[in-house]
Amino acid sequence: MSSSDQATRQIHERAVESLREQGYRLTPQRLLILSAVAQSGGHMGVDQVFRLAKEGYPYMDIATVYRTLHLLKKLNVVTEVAIGDRLHYELTDPDGGHHHMVCQVCNGAFNLGAHYLEQFRNTLMEEFNFEPDLEHFTITGVCSTCHDQPSKDNSAKTKSLRPKV
């Protein structure tokens, strides 16, 4: 098991604990949904969470997924992140928030430690006396994988750039 798997497991266990602490029963369905969010380090769309949870419990319905995600968000166990034009979910980072870099080609989300934007925040405050709300700040761009290999996803864009004949 890699150390990042272990870290995910710890966050997962903490989430289960805080659910109990706040008096919520950890039903098998809630646990399934929580585990689904914990997989692949989070950044899961509702449909992905639904698909994974359904693997563990075929009678899972999407309304339960929405309701549970809403509850987990309210308990601060799960954080909602807008990636592209869709909402994604991840386990709440116990070490404070992080920002996201989102690839416009593959739609992948990558975590960016909050300290990377400290300087930026200070500059805005010092030079403009402007206090930025960076909680939902997301940087869009192209990830290293998509940079290195012009993928199939790119071809549609390239085509549309060609002059019409």
DSSP string, 27-91: -HHHHHHHHHHHGGGS-EEHHHHHHHHHHH-TT--HHHHHHHHHHHHHTTSEEEEEETTEEEEEE
Q: Is 31 in the site for Zn ion (CB under 5 A)?
A: no
Among 111, 114, 117, 134, contact with Zn ion (rule: CB under 5 A): 111
Q: Is 44 in the site for Zn ion (CB under 5 A)?
A: no
Do the beta carbons of residue 98 and residue 121 sit within 8 Å?
Answer: no
Q: Is 90 in the site for Zn ion (CB under 5 A)?
A: yes
Q: Is 105 in the site for Zn ion (CB under 5 A)?
A: yes
* Nearest approach, Cβ of residue 103 and Zn ion (Å): 3
Task: Specify the stretch interacting with Zn ion by CB under 5 A; choose among 6-14, 60-68, 82-90, 127-135.
Answer: 82-90
**118 vs 153 by CB, closer to Zn ion:** 153
Residues 6 or more apart whose CB falls under 8 angstroms from that of 123 comprise none
The site for Zn ion, by CB under 5 A, has a size of: 8
**127 vs 135 by CB, closer to Zn ion:** 135
Instruction: Calculate the alpha carbon distances from 126 to 74, 81, 84, 117 in Å.
Output: 34, 28, 31, 14
Q: Is 146 in the site for Zn ion (CB under 5 A)?
A: yes
Q: Using CB under 5 A, list all residues that contact Zn ion.
A: 90, 103, 105-106, 108, 111, 143, 146
